[in-house]
Chain A
Amino acid sequence: MEQGSLRSSRQCGRSGREPPVCATDNRTFFALRIEELADRLYGVALRFTRNRAAAEDLVSETVVKAWAHLPQLEDRTCFEKWIFRILANTFFSQCRHRREETLAAEEDEDGFSLFDRLHQPFLLWWGNPEQELINKLLCEDLDRALGALPDCYRAVVVSVDLLGHSYAEVAGMLGVPVGTVRSRLNRARSQLQRALWQQAQAAGLVRGSLDEGDAHD
């Protein structure tokens, strides 16, 4: 199917006669949108895969698929949402082959909250502790904390927090119940905030003993 539509559109655009207007428009529209979205396609692919070569492959595969399915996109104002769904689906379909890893990662993770940590009575702050921490966190800190999550947790955080997908959309793409998405997301965010807290402590951004920051509440 994909081969067929690729070939026919190429013939449309490159035949000696005047190409059909719609085909030219399609290609121009598509190339323009890809160019506009390249930063985000690559950024999201990189957060999904944590690997530059794999991210390039994922973006390339997504672009080829999107072009093949473009005639099925009825409302072009939805292009961005649509192509990121293709990207997520493509990534998830690769993940589904590695189910064991997914299951192994479903361990307990309590509801760790950075906000609660910042409001522990032994921490001395001037001003607004949350705002200070948010301002001091580097992109690298966030990237490292996100990258440290198990694949199945990172996938839901990227889908929901970065792409704005609903739980139901993610559940559909992953082929799991909505409740599973919700619980993975809760664990993922808890683990993410714990990692950020530990990094903030290691960097001296927050005072408070390392013991306190670690295991127990």
Chain B
Amino acid sequence: MTEQERIHCDEVVASLLEYLDGELDDARRARIEDHLAECRGCFSRAEFERALRRRLQALATEPPPDSLKRRLKAILDEF
């Protein structure tokens, strides 16, 4: 990789969340990935953001209360 193509930590930090969201084009994603493979600090940062997101994603699951189960059953029985 030439010096011109190499990116710096601050650029990685600025684009990291978009990278993790899968919102970057192939070229930018590849540049970030090359950097993460070489830079321990940015790699740790990316791992931390991923781990935090996994914890957050656990909030997407919550047992429905009985009242909702009954209501859904009633709705489905109508179909």
Contact = CB atoms under 8 A, between A and B. Distances in A.
Q: Is the interface of B mostly helix, strand, loop or mixed?
A: helix
B63 A60 contact: no
Interface in B6-65: 17-18, 21-23, 44-45, 47-49, 51-53, 55-65
A185 B55 CA distance: 17
Contacts, number: 104
A46 B47 CA distance: 28
Nearest to B63: A39
A174 to B, nearest CB: 16
B55 A60 contact: no
Nearest to A160: B21
What bracket does the count of chain B residues touching chain A fall in? 20 to 34
A115 B51 CA distance: 12
Contact of A185 (B17, B22, B52, B78): B17
A162 B59 contact: yes
Most buried by A among B21, B47, B52: B52
Interface string A32-73: 001000111111101100001000100110011001000000
A189 interface: yes
A35 B41 CA distance: 43
A10 B63 contact: no
Contacts of B78: 6, 10
Given A114-B52, A167-B21, A39 B61 contact: yes
A86 interface: no
Contact of B75 (A41, A64, A157, A161): A64
Contacts of B75: 60, 63-64
Given A43-B62, A46-B62, A63-B75, A56 B44 contact: no
B56 A146 contact: yes
A30 B76 contact: yes
A139 B59 CA distance: 7
A162 B64 contact: no
Given A27-B79, A115-B45, A137 B55 contact: yes
21 contacts: A9-B79, A13-B79, A31-B76, A31-B79, A42-B64, A47-B60, A56-B64, A60-B71, A64-B75, A67-B79, A115-B44, A130-B44, A134-B52, A139-B55, A139-B59, A146-B56, A160-B21, A162-B57, A163-B60, A185-B17, A189-B17
